[in-house]
Protein backbone atom coordinates (compact mmCIF):
# COMPACT_ATOMS: atom_id res chain seq x y z
CA UNK A 1 0.00 0.00 0.00
CA UNK A 2 1.06 3.56 -0.48
CA UNK A 3 2.78 5.03 2.54
CA UNK A 4 2.66 8.44 4.08
CA UNK A 5 4.14 9.18 7.48
CA UNK A 6 3.74 6.06 9.61
CA UNK A 7 1.12 5.03 7.11
CA UNK A 8 -1.91 6.19 9.02
CA UNK A 9 -1.37 9.28 11.11
CA UNK A 10 -1.43 11.83 8.28
CA UNK A 11 -4.18 9.85 6.59
CA UNK A 12 -6.31 10.34 9.67
CA UNK A 13 -5.65 14.05 9.50
CA UNK A 14 -6.36 14.17 5.80
CA UNK A 15 -9.58 12.21 6.25
CA UNK A 16 -10.78 14.75 8.76
CA UNK A 17 -9.72 17.67 6.57
CA UNK A 18 -11.25 16.36 3.34
CA UNK A 19 -14.80 15.14 4.05
CA UNK A 20 -17.01 13.92 1.23
CA UNK A 21 -20.44 15.46 1.09
CA UNK A 22 -23.59 13.45 1.54
CA UNK A 23 -22.73 11.37 4.60
CA UNK A 24 -24.17 12.00 8.03
CA UNK A 25 -21.61 12.54 10.72
CA UNK A 26 -22.25 10.48 13.83
CA UNK A 27 -21.44 11.83 17.29
CA UNK A 28 -17.85 11.11 18.23
CA UNK A 29 -17.38 7.80 19.97
CA UNK A 30 -15.29 7.71 23.14
CA UNK A 31 -11.55 7.71 22.59
CA UNK A 32 -9.20 6.19 25.17
CA UNK A 33 -7.73 8.75 27.51
CA UNK A 34 -4.28 9.84 26.46
CA UNK A 35 -3.08 10.17 30.02
CA UNK A 36 -1.81 7.08 31.77
CA UNK A 37 -3.17 4.08 29.89
CA UNK A 38 -3.41 3.20 26.22
CA UNK A 39 -5.67 0.86 24.32
CA UNK A 40 -4.46 -2.53 23.07
CA UNK A 41 -1.98 -5.16 24.21
CA UNK A 42 1.07 -3.20 23.07
CA UNK A 43 1.86 -0.30 25.38
CA UNK A 44 4.17 2.60 24.46
CA UNK A 45 7.60 1.76 25.81
CA UNK A 46 9.06 5.25 26.33
CA UNK A 47 8.33 8.96 26.10
CA UNK A 48 8.91 8.99 22.35
CA UNK A 49 6.23 6.37 21.73
CA UNK A 50 3.88 7.93 24.28
CA UNK A 51 4.10 11.21 22.39
CA UNK A 52 3.26 9.42 19.17
CA UNK A 53 0.26 7.71 20.82
CA UNK A 54 -1.01 11.11 22.02
CA UNK A 55 -0.88 12.49 18.49
CA UNK A 56 -2.63 9.46 17.03
CA UNK A 57 -5.37 9.68 19.65
CA UNK A 58 -5.98 13.29 18.60
CA UNK A 59 -6.05 12.26 14.95
CA UNK A 60 -8.50 9.47 15.72
CA UNK A 61 -10.82 11.95 17.40
CA UNK A 62 -10.96 13.87 14.12
CA UNK A 63 -11.45 10.69 12.16
CA UNK A 64 -14.42 9.67 14.29
CA UNK A 65 -16.42 12.73 13.18
CA UNK A 66 -15.17 12.85 9.59
CA UNK A 67 -17.80 12.64 6.87
CA UNK A 68 -15.34 10.50 4.91
CA UNK A 69 -15.98 7.59 7.28
CA UNK A 70 -18.64 5.17 6.04
CA UNK A 71 -20.77 4.29 9.06
CA UNK A 72 -23.10 1.75 7.49
CA UNK A 73 -23.49 -0.97 10.18
CA UNK A 74 -23.79 -3.89 7.74
CA UNK A 75 -20.71 -2.94 5.72
CA UNK A 76 -18.64 -2.35 8.85
CA UNK A 77 -19.79 -5.63 10.39
CA UNK A 78 -18.87 -7.51 7.23
CA UNK A 79 -15.37 -6.04 7.04
CA UNK A 80 -14.80 -6.82 10.72
CA UNK A 81 -15.97 -10.37 10.09
CA UNK A 82 -13.36 -10.73 7.32
CA UNK A 83 -10.69 -9.14 9.49
CA UNK A 84 -11.39 -11.43 12.45
CA UNK A 85 -11.41 -14.53 10.27
CA UNK A 86 -8.04 -13.44 8.85
CA UNK A 87 -6.12 -12.35 11.95
CA UNK A 88 -7.93 -14.27 14.67
CA UNK A 89 -8.80 -13.07 18.20
CA UNK A 90 -6.40 -10.14 17.98
CA UNK A 91 -8.97 -8.37 15.82
CA UNK A 92 -10.63 -7.37 19.10
CA UNK A 93 -7.78 -4.87 19.60
CA UNK A 94 -8.20 -3.23 16.19
CA UNK A 95 -10.36 -0.17 15.59
CA UNK A 96 -11.51 -0.44 11.99
CA UNK A 97 -12.64 2.53 9.87
CA UNK A 98 -13.99 2.33 6.31
CA UNK A 99 -13.12 5.46 4.33
CA UNK A 100 -14.87 6.81 1.23
CA UNK A 101 -11.81 7.37 -0.93
CA UNK A 102 -11.45 6.08 -4.51
CA UNK A 103 -7.83 5.01 -4.19
CA UNK A 104 -6.54 1.47 -3.63
CA UNK A 105 -5.32 1.48 -0.06
CA UNK A 106 -5.57 0.15 3.47
CA UNK A 107 -3.49 1.30 6.42
CA UNK A 108 -2.68 0.29 9.96
CA UNK A 109 -1.20 2.48 12.66
CA UNK A 110 0.95 1.14 15.52
CA UNK A 111 -1.77 1.99 18.07
CA UNK A 112 -4.31 -0.35 16.47
CA UNK A 113 -6.23 1.86 14.01
CA UNK A 114 -6.90 0.23 10.63
CA UNK A 115 -8.45 1.98 7.65
CA UNK A 116 -9.87 0.33 4.55
CA UNK A 117 -10.48 2.61 1.58
CA UNK A 118 -13.45 2.21 -0.74
CA UNK A 119 -11.08 2.09 -3.74
CA UNK A 120 -9.78 -1.21 -2.37
CA UNK A 121 -13.32 -2.54 -1.98
CA UNK A 122 -14.01 -1.65 -5.60
CA UNK A 123 -10.87 -3.37 -6.88
CA UNK A 124 -10.87 -6.53 -4.77
CA UNK A 125 -12.79 -9.13 -6.74
CA UNK A 126 -13.60 -11.42 -3.83
CA UNK A 127 -13.34 -11.77 -0.08
CA UNK A 128 -9.98 -13.54 -0.20
CA UNK A 129 -8.38 -10.60 -2.01
CA UNK A 130 -9.74 -8.18 0.59
CA UNK A 131 -8.46 -10.46 3.36
CA UNK A 132 -5.03 -10.58 1.70
CA UNK A 133 -4.66 -6.80 1.93
CA UNK A 134 -5.98 -6.64 5.50
CA UNK A 135 -3.64 -9.44 6.52
CA UNK A 136 -0.71 -7.65 4.92
CA UNK A 137 -1.45 -4.50 6.93
CA UNK A 138 -1.89 -6.47 10.14
CA UNK A 139 1.49 -8.14 9.52
CA UNK A 140 3.17 -4.71 9.38
CA UNK A 141 1.47 -3.93 12.69
CA UNK A 142 2.58 -7.16 14.36
CA UNK A 143 6.20 -6.64 13.32
CA UNK A 144 6.14 -3.02 14.57
CA UNK A 145 7.43 -1.79 11.24
CA UNK A 146 5.92 1.67 11.67
CA UNK A 147 7.54 2.16 15.06
CA UNK A 148 10.89 1.15 13.60
CA UNK A 149 10.53 3.77 10.87
CA UNK A 150 9.44 6.35 13.42
CA UNK A 151 12.59 5.85 15.45
CA UNK A 152 14.74 6.00 12.35
CA UNK A 153 13.07 9.27 11.40
CA UNK A 154 13.82 10.74 14.80
CA UNK A 155 17.47 9.86 14.37
CA UNK A 156 17.44 11.69 11.04
CA UNK A 157 16.01 14.75 12.84
CA UNK A 158 13.95 15.69 9.81
CA UNK A 159 12.07 18.80 10.87
CA UNK A 160 9.41 18.61 8.15
CA UNK A 161 8.58 15.04 9.10
CA UNK A 162 8.09 15.87 12.75
CA UNK A 163 5.97 18.86 11.86
CA UNK A 164 3.81 16.48 9.91
CA UNK A 165 3.49 14.25 12.96
CA UNK A 166 1.71 17.06 14.77
CA UNK A 167 -0.35 18.01 11.75
CA UNK A 168 1.62 21.24 11.26
CA UNK A 169 2.79 21.80 7.73
CA UNK A 170 1.29 18.47 6.67
CA UNK A 171 0.46 19.44 3.11
CA UNK A 172 3.74 21.27 2.69
CA UNK A 173 5.86 18.27 3.69
CA UNK A 174 3.73 15.52 2.21
CA UNK A 175 5.88 15.20 -0.89
CA UNK A 176 8.95 14.07 0.99
CA UNK A 177 7.21 11.68 3.35
CA UNK A 178 6.97 8.74 0.97
CA UNK A 179 10.72 8.45 0.62
CA UNK A 180 11.40 9.05 4.32
CA UNK A 181 8.74 6.84 5.88
CA UNK A 182 7.96 4.23 3.26
CA UNK A 183 8.38 0.64 4.32
CA UNK A 184 11.52 -0.96 2.99
CA UNK A 185 11.29 -3.71 0.42
CA UNK A 186 12.34 -6.16 3.10
CA UNK A 187 9.49 -5.01 5.34
CA UNK A 188 7.01 -5.29 2.47
CA UNK A 189 8.14 -8.82 1.70
CA UNK A 190 7.91 -9.79 5.37
CA UNK A 191 4.36 -8.45 5.51
CA UNK A 192 3.49 -10.25 2.27
CA UNK A 193 4.73 -13.60 3.57
CA UNK A 194 3.17 -13.18 7.01
CA UNK A 195 -0.10 -12.09 5.43
CA UNK A 196 -0.05 -15.09 3.12
CA UNK A 197 0.27 -17.43 6.11
CA UNK A 198 -2.66 -15.70 7.83
CA UNK A 199 -4.75 -16.14 4.70
CA UNK A 200 -3.93 -19.86 4.42
CA UNK A 201 -4.61 -20.45 8.13
CA UNK A 202 -7.98 -18.70 7.72
CA UNK A 203 -8.98 -21.13 4.98
CA UNK A 204 -8.90 -18.67 2.09
CA UNK A 205 -7.59 -19.50 -1.37
CA UNK A 206 -3.98 -18.18 -1.36
CA UNK A 207 -3.91 -17.99 -5.18
CA UNK A 208 -5.92 -14.77 -4.82
CA UNK A 209 -2.98 -12.96 -3.19
CA UNK A 210 -0.75 -12.53 -6.26
CA UNK A 211 -3.84 -11.97 -8.41
CA UNK A 212 -4.75 -8.71 -6.73
CA UNK A 213 -1.26 -7.37 -7.40
CA UNK A 214 -1.44 -8.51 -11.02
CA UNK A 215 -4.72 -6.64 -11.35
CA UNK A 216 -3.08 -3.49 -10.01
CA UNK A 217 -0.28 -3.87 -12.57
CA UNK A 218 -2.81 -4.26 -15.36
CA UNK A 219 -4.79 -1.24 -14.19
CA UNK A 220 -1.64 0.85 -14.06
CA UNK A 221 -0.77 -0.23 -17.59
CA UNK A 222 -4.26 0.68 -18.79
CA UNK A 223 -3.90 4.14 -17.24
CA UNK A 224 -0.51 4.69 -18.87
CA UNK A 225 -1.66 3.56 -22.31
CA UNK A 226 -4.73 5.81 -22.16
CA UNK A 227 -2.42 8.73 -21.37
CA UNK A 228 -0.20 7.96 -24.35
CA UNK A 229 2.66 6.50 -22.32
CA UNK A 230 4.41 3.16 -22.53
CA UNK A 231 3.65 0.35 -20.14
CA UNK A 232 6.15 -0.12 -17.32
CA UNK A 233 8.79 -2.79 -17.65
CA UNK A 234 7.50 -4.94 -14.86
CA UNK A 235 10.69 -6.80 -14.11
CA UNK A 236 12.91 -3.74 -14.25
CA UNK A 237 10.93 -1.14 -12.38
CA UNK A 238 9.52 -0.93 -8.91
CA UNK A 239 5.92 -1.51 -8.09
CA UNK A 240 3.21 1.06 -7.70
CA UNK A 241 5.70 3.19 -5.81
CA UNK A 242 9.47 3.14 -5.81
CA UNK A 243 9.73 1.98 -2.20
CA UNK A 244 7.72 -1.18 -2.82
CA UNK A 245 9.19 -4.43 -4.09
CA UNK A 246 9.19 -4.68 -7.88
CA UNK A 247 5.59 -5.58 -8.64
CA UNK A 248 6.28 -8.49 -10.95
CA UNK A 249 8.86 -9.75 -8.47
CA UNK A 250 6.19 -9.48 -5.78
CA UNK A 251 3.83 -11.62 -7.82
CA UNK A 252 6.62 -14.12 -8.50
CA UNK A 253 7.78 -14.60 -4.91
CA UNK A 254 4.20 -14.87 -3.68
CA UNK A 255 3.51 -17.61 -6.21
CA UNK A 256 6.70 -19.38 -5.21
CA UNK A 257 5.70 -19.17 -1.55
CA UNK A 258 2.26 -20.59 -2.33
CA UNK A 259 3.82 -23.49 -4.23
CA UNK A 260 5.68 -24.50 -1.08
CA UNK A 261 2.59 -24.54 1.15
CA UNK A 262 0.09 -27.24 1.99
CA UNK A 263 -3.24 -25.79 0.91
CA UNK A 264 -6.60 -26.79 2.36
CA UNK A 265 -8.48 -28.49 -0.50
CA UNK A 266 -11.69 -26.70 0.53
CA UNK A 267 -10.08 -23.25 0.67
CA UNK A 268 -12.47 -20.67 -0.77
CA UNK A 269 -12.34 -17.16 -2.15
CA UNK A 270 -15.64 -15.94 -0.68
CA UNK A 271 -16.84 -14.65 -4.05
CA UNK A 272 -20.57 -14.99 -3.40
CA UNK A 273 -20.36 -13.43 0.07
CA UNK A 274 -18.33 -10.52 -1.27
CA UNK A 275 -20.63 -10.04 -4.25
CA UNK A 276 -23.71 -10.00 -1.99
CA UNK A 277 -22.30 -7.67 0.68
CA UNK A 278 -20.74 -5.13 -1.71
CA UNK A 279 -23.38 -5.04 -4.47
CA UNK A 280 -25.17 -1.99 -3.06
CA UNK A 281 -21.90 -0.06 -2.72
CA UNK A 282 -20.20 -0.68 -6.05
CA UNK A 283 -22.26 1.92 -7.97
CA UNK A 284 -21.22 4.61 -5.48
CA UNK A 285 -17.58 3.54 -5.42
CA UNK A 286 -17.45 3.34 -9.20
CA UNK A 287 -18.94 6.83 -9.45
CA UNK A 288 -16.11 8.06 -7.23
CA UNK A 289 -13.64 6.36 -9.57
CA UNK A 290 -15.14 8.04 -12.65
CA UNK A 291 -14.60 11.44 -11.03
CA UNK A 292 -10.83 10.83 -11.05
CA UNK A 293 -10.75 11.29 -14.85
CA UNK A 294 -8.57 8.20 -15.19
CA UNK A 295 -9.96 6.97 -18.50
CA UNK A 296 -7.84 3.86 -18.89
CA UNK A 297 -8.07 2.80 -15.26
CA UNK A 298 -11.83 3.35 -15.08
CA UNK A 299 -12.58 1.33 -18.20
CA UNK A 300 -10.25 -1.41 -16.98
CA UNK A 301 -12.15 -1.57 -13.68
CA UNK A 302 -15.55 -1.71 -15.37
CA UNK A 303 -14.32 -4.53 -17.61
CA UNK A 304 -12.79 -6.36 -14.62
CA UNK A 305 -15.97 -6.14 -12.58
CA UNK A 306 -18.04 -7.38 -15.51
CA UNK A 307 -15.63 -10.28 -15.94
CA UNK A 308 -15.66 -11.22 -12.25
CA UNK A 309 -19.36 -10.74 -11.53
CA UNK A 310 -21.11 -10.83 -14.88
CA UNK A 311 -22.93 -7.92 -16.50
CA UNK A 312 -25.23 -5.96 -14.24
CA UNK A 313 -27.39 -2.88 -14.89
CA UNK A 314 -25.12 -0.71 -12.78
CA UNK A 315 -21.99 -1.67 -14.72
CA UNK A 316 -23.92 -0.90 -17.90
CA UNK A 317 -24.81 2.44 -16.33
CA UNK A 318 -21.19 3.02 -15.34
CA UNK A 319 -19.97 2.36 -18.88
CA UNK A 320 -22.54 4.83 -20.24
CA UNK A 321 -21.59 7.41 -17.60
CA UNK A 322 -17.92 7.02 -18.49
CA UNK A 323 -18.57 8.03 -22.10
CA UNK A 324 -20.95 10.82 -21.19
CA UNK A 325 -18.52 12.38 -18.74
CA UNK A 326 -15.43 11.97 -20.90
CA UNK A 327 -16.98 13.98 -23.71
CA UNK A 328 -14.62 12.92 -26.52
CA UNK A 329 -15.88 13.04 -30.13
CA UNK A 330 -18.59 10.40 -30.52
CA UNK A 331 -18.93 9.85 -26.78
CA UNK A 332 -22.42 11.37 -26.49
CA UNK A 333 -23.88 8.94 -29.02
CA UNK A 334 -21.90 6.06 -27.50
CA UNK A 335 -23.32 6.93 -24.09
CA UNK A 336 -26.86 7.00 -25.49
CA UNK A 337 -26.27 3.52 -26.89
CA UNK A 338 -25.04 2.12 -23.57
CA UNK A 339 -27.90 3.70 -21.61
CA UNK A 340 -30.42 2.35 -24.11
CA UNK A 341 -28.89 -1.12 -24.09
CA UNK A 342 -28.97 -1.24 -20.29
CA UNK A 343 -32.62 -0.18 -20.21
CA UNK A 344 -33.49 -2.74 -22.89
CA UNK A 345 -31.82 -5.47 -20.82
CA UNK A 346 -34.01 -4.70 -17.82
CA UNK A 347 -32.09 -1.96 -16.06
CA UNK A 348 -34.45 0.21 -14.03
CA UNK A 349 -32.08 2.58 -12.24
CA UNK A 350 -33.77 6.01 -12.51
CA UNK A 351 -30.38 7.55 -13.23
CA UNK A 352 -30.33 5.69 -16.55
CA UNK A 353 -33.00 8.03 -17.92
CA UNK A 354 -31.43 11.12 -16.44
CA UNK A 355 -28.01 10.21 -17.83
CA UNK A 356 -29.42 9.39 -21.25
CA UNK A 357 -31.24 12.74 -21.17
CA UNK A 358 -27.97 14.57 -20.63
CA UNK A 359 -26.29 12.58 -23.40
CA UNK A 360 -29.17 13.15 -25.82
CA UNK A 361 -29.12 16.85 -25.06
CA UNK A 362 -25.40 16.97 -25.79
CA UNK A 363 -26.00 15.08 -29.04
CA UNK A 364 -28.53 17.71 -30.11
CA UNK A 365 -31.61 15.51 -29.62
CA UNK A 366 -33.53 17.89 -27.37
CA UNK A 367 -37.03 16.41 -27.68
CA UNK A 368 -35.83 12.91 -26.77
CA UNK A 369 -33.82 14.39 -23.89
CA UNK A 370 -36.89 16.10 -22.44
CA UNK A 371 -38.82 12.83 -22.52
CA UNK A 372 -36.07 11.09 -20.57
CA UNK A 373 -35.88 13.91 -18.00
CA UNK A 374 -39.64 13.62 -17.45
CA UNK A 375 -39.31 9.86 -17.03
CA UNK A 376 -36.60 10.37 -14.42
CA UNK A 377 -38.72 12.90 -12.50
CA UNK A 378 -41.67 10.51 -12.58
CA UNK A 379 -39.54 7.73 -11.11
CA UNK A 380 -37.93 9.93 -8.43
CA UNK A 381 -40.48 12.61 -7.44
CA UNK A 382 -38.30 13.86 -4.58
CA UNK A 383 -34.99 13.78 -6.49
CA UNK A 384 -32.40 16.14 -4.94
CA UNK A 385 -31.69 17.57 -8.40
CA UNK A 386 -35.37 17.95 -9.27
CA UNK A 387 -35.18 21.73 -9.78
CA UNK A 388 -32.36 21.52 -12.30
CA UNK A 389 -33.79 18.54 -14.19
CA UNK A 390 -37.23 20.16 -14.25
CA UNK A 391 -35.73 23.20 -15.92
CA UNK A 392 -34.08 21.01 -18.56
CA UNK A 393 -37.38 19.20 -19.08
CA UNK A 394 -39.22 22.49 -19.52
CA UNK A 395 -41.47 22.11 -16.50
CA UNK A 396 -41.83 23.94 -13.21
Strand order across the beta sheet in which 113-117 lies:
95-99, 113-117, 106-108
Question: Between vectors from CA 342 to CA 340 and to CA 345, what angle results, nearest 5°?
Answer: 110
Q: Can 219 be counted among the known catalytic residues? A: no
Spatial CB neighbours of 271, under 8 Å, sequence gap ≥ 6: 125, 126, 127, 308
> Strand pairing partners for 95?
113
* Kind plus residue range of the DSSP H or E element containing 373: helix 366-379
Cα 190 to the chain's mean position, in Å?
22
Out of 49, 60, 127, 137, pick the active-site residue.
Answer: 137
Assess contact for 98 and 285: CB atoms under 8 A: no
Assess contact for 300 and 222: CB atoms under 8 A: yes
The DSSP code sequence of 62-95 is: HHHT-TTB---HHHHHHHHHHHHHHHGGGGGG-E
Residues marked as catalytic: 137
Amino acid sequence: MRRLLLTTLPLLALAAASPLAGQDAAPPAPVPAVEGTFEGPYQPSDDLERGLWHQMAEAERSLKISQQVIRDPELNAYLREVLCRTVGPECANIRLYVLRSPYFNATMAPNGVMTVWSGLLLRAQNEAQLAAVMGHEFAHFKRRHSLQLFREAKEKSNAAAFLALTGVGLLFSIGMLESLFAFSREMEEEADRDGLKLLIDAGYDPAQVPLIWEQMLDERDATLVARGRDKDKRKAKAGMFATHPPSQARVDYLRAAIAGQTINPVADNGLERYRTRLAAWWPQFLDDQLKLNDDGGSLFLIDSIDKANGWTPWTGFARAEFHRRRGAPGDAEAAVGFYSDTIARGGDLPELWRGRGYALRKAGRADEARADFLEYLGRVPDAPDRAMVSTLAGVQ
